[in-house]
Amino acid sequence: MAIREETVWEALKQVRDPEIGIDLVNLGLIYEILITEHEGKSDIHVKMTLTSPACPSGPQMIQEVKDVLRQLGDEVGQVNVEVVLSPPWTPDRMSEEARDELGFY
C-alpha cells in the first residue's frame, strides 16, 4: 500500500526545531513532499529549508526527518531530504498555531 502525502505531513509534525521548540510543519520549513512508487515501495522526497542558512541544528533536523519517515513502515523505500534556501524562510510561513505559541500577532 502506498504511503499517503497526508501521512507524511503528520509524521513530520513529530520533528521539532530544537532551538525554537515548534515542529517543522507548523514553522513552515517543509516546502514540498513528493512520493513516488518504485518496486512496490514509496520513495519519499522532502524539500525543506532552515530558519537561517547557518542553522546549527540543520543536520540534526534533517536526520530526524529521515528517521521519522523510515518509521512509517516497510512500504517506505528511499527517503531523500533536499535543503533549499530559496525562497528563504520568513515568519510569514508559520501556521497560526506556531505564531500564537511564539507570541507573534
Whose cell is 537561517? That residue is 52
User: CA 33, 24, 100: angle at the middle one, nearest 5?
Assistant: 130
- How high is the pLDDT of residue 105? 63
Q: What is the mean pLDDT of residues 35-56?
A: 94
* Residues 51-66, mean pLDDT to the nearest whole number: 94
Predicted TM-score (pTM) of the model is 0.92
pLDDT digits (tens, 9 = 90+) for 6-17: 999 999 999 999
Taken in order of first residue, the domains within the chain and their CATH numbers are 5-87 (3.30.300.130)
